[in-house]
A and B are shown apart, each in its own frame.
Chain A
């Protein structure tokens, strides 16, 4: 009788593990953007969760206990890479003790390895430059052309982990590509008025968006990435805005608005709050919704 209890416990654990291995492939993504694309191409064969919410800056997350559970159970971990998750993913991976998703194994996918990153520095990087990402700017999902690349990288890995469903993954990838290309043409034409316009951004996070739609980011509210603006830096910016007749400032929903309001007051610059991620607003549930919302937010400031 004494041995019965441990045997039941052990048996239940084995049963639980066998059950979980038969269910859909469990994908955990560090951001909602990667999660949304993984859902598009994984379809019914995958179950996708995001570790962070699109309403927050993914760089400044912390390894919450609930994340440990999610990573512990994951078959595949998708990360933005390029140092985006450097502050919280390493301790999370250590706590989650899931060998499948450790670097070097098939369950660990640094999506940035499949993207041509912008903003790489070929000069020695110093922290006196602020939060500079030497390996390149990590906000690459904000170019819909990179959406296709992200999907491609994810599908390559899905096929490797789950070859039985290769045909489905490839078909879903092609379908996603077709839909995205079609929508991209619409977004391009909607934002044609913005082409070559100078724009101020709050943080160095919209360079891919600018690259995709042809506008120019000529300055940032932050004097250095991650460093809060000061009165002196704002004064310099006012001068720049006035001298170059810059009409638009773009900012993520989670940043403080005081600096932007101040600039608006002093120069009349229009402030467009752009959702930067899937999930940044309640109505942004897919990767397509994200660009629909961005285009809509920008079009409010189109000259009538």
Chain B
């Protein structure tokens, strides 16, 4: 920055001070002539000061103009016909509603549809109304918040801060840090919001391991985009292990798992936090076929004892095919599979009832966008666990098959019909049949297309 105008400014200051000296002081001793001269001098000085101030303010204006103007604009041709409105602040509201009926009553249906955003009662369900706000904070950060409004089965309105986090924009070496309250990087499905799901409900195994709301908590994660020839990204996260959205870890005191009453346990040191790692790889197998392969792990304390731990591993595979010619993103075929395994230490060492709970589950789902706006889907799921689990809603032998059909009216709304065939050991009738009709709308900013 050019500071050459500063001496001028000092000069003006001195002149200004001089002007403050009262002329009256001289008046008594000096003649009228002298007074006249002084008056003239004062007037001249005032003129001089005004001139200087004028010049300085013009200079300052020009300088400010130069600073605020992006340099690149100077070289661009002046295209006065274009008005570009740049506003990266985004706000959107998504509403997800469903109507459904099942061969089983509401209590049993609630057990089968354990996701908090699943349609879980005979009749109407407000699955998820989500307000999403996000944008760029400055040169260094982006931020986003997702706030959920829900009406539970008692008719009460629930307000929930689902996510609120910042992400860095300009770290070197392919690094990025995210901090706040956010979904843990584990597999492909856990991070997806209900309006991005291919089905009306979340997979059984995810409800079992991560609870109704998905695995999310407060903390930070760092990710690194590796300098490989294919897409390869590694995530490490540290989050609080406690709360109702950290199922399998320090959640829900007084609830039971396999006969153990969960205690109110706090994280005492850094080894008691929830650690997550994920390695995600992406390949273009051909012009029409892309693939994502990921491995994830979670390590943290659980509330069945004071020293007990939980470990969860998962593998995920996603394939998407789209022909060379496609209209509005159609046709396409996508195939998404995840397998998860949980090792849950139940009871402290020395506890005679101590046992090792092993749970596992897999879901595989295919979507076929057969013509613009129309998608047919099929999902198959299996979940099971070791030990005496036949009557445990969240650990019994469970299978589910779900065909569905989705019609997207436009980019901002859709209608979905889904049938669920359930086989569950804990049900007296062993099977259940359910049918759901789901409607979704999106208001506000254009939502991101999903790969």
Which residues of B226-261 are within 8 A (CB) of A? Answer: 227, 229-231, 233
> Is the beta-carbon distance between A61 and B231 smaller than 8 angstroms?
no
Q: How far apart are the CA atoms of A105 and B75 in the complex, in Å?
A: 14
Q: Are A64 and B449 in contact (CB under 8 A)?
A: no
Asked if B10 lies at the interface with its beta carbon under 8 angstroms from chain A, I say no
Question: Is A301's beta carbon under 8 Å from chain B?
Answer: no
Stretch in B17-25, B199-207, B283-291, B383-391 touching the partner: B283-291
- How many of B's residues come within 8 Å of A, CB to CB? 58
Closest chain A CB from B195 CB (angstroms): 14
Q: Which of A59, A115, A117, A254 contacts B325 (CB 8 A)?
A: A254
Give chain A residues whose Cβ lies under 8 Å from the Cβ of B322. 56
B410 in complex: contacting residue of A72, A90, A103, A227, CB < 8 Å? A227
Nearest CB on B from A22, distance (A): 16
Q: How far is the CA of A68 from the CA of B225 in the complex (A)?
A: 9
| A: number of interface residues (CB 8 Å) | 60
Q: Please state if A116 and B72 are interface contacts (CB–CB under 8 Å).
A: no
**Is there contact, CB below 8 Å, between B325 and A56?**
yes
Quick check: is A253 within 8 A (CB to CB) of the other chain? yes
Interface presence of A102 (CB below 8 A): yes
Do B451 and A97 touch across chains, with their CB atoms under 8 A apart?
no
B160 CB–A CB distance under 8 Å: no
B410 touches A66 (CB 8 A): no
| A88 located at the interface, meaning its Cβ lies under 8 Å from any Cβ of chain B in the complex | yes
Contact B448 A13 (CB under 8 A): no
In the complex the two chains form, is B227's CB within 8 Å of A60's CB? no
Task: Please tell me which stretch of B82-90, B115-123, B147-155, B432-440 contacts chain A, meaning at least 4 of its Cβ atoms lie within 8 angstroms of it.
Answer: B82-90
Q: Interface stretch among B169-177, B271-279, B336-344, B353-361?
A: B169-177
Mark out the residues of chain A between 125 and 179 whose CB falls within 8 Å of any chain B CB in the assembled complex. Answer: 127, 130-131, 135-136, 149, 152-153, 156-157, 159-160
Contact digits for A6-17, partner B, Cβ 8 Å, 1 yes 0 no = 000000010011
Cβ of B376 to closest chain A Cβ, rounded Å? 17
Closest chain-B Cβ to A293's Cβ sits at a distance in Å of 15
What 1/0 flags go to B278-300 for Cβ under 8 Å of A? 00111110010010100000000
Verify B328–A226 contact, CB threshold 8 A.
Answer: yes
Known: A66-B282, A256-B372. A159 touches B174 (CB 8 A): no
Interface status of B446 (Cβ within 8 A of chain A):
yes
Q: In the complex, are the beta carbons of B448 and A60 less than 8 A apart?
A: no
Please give me the residue from chain B that is nearest to A153 by CB atom. Answer: B76
Question: Inside 8 A of A88's CB, which chain B residues have their CB?
Answer: 448-449
Decide: B84 and A110 in contact? CB cutoff 8 A.
yes
B residues at A contact (CB < 8 Å)? 70-72, 75-77, 79, 81-86, 88, 139, 142, 167-171, 173-176, 225, 227, 229-231, 233, 280-284, 287, 290, 292, 322, 324-329, 371-373, 410-412, 446-451
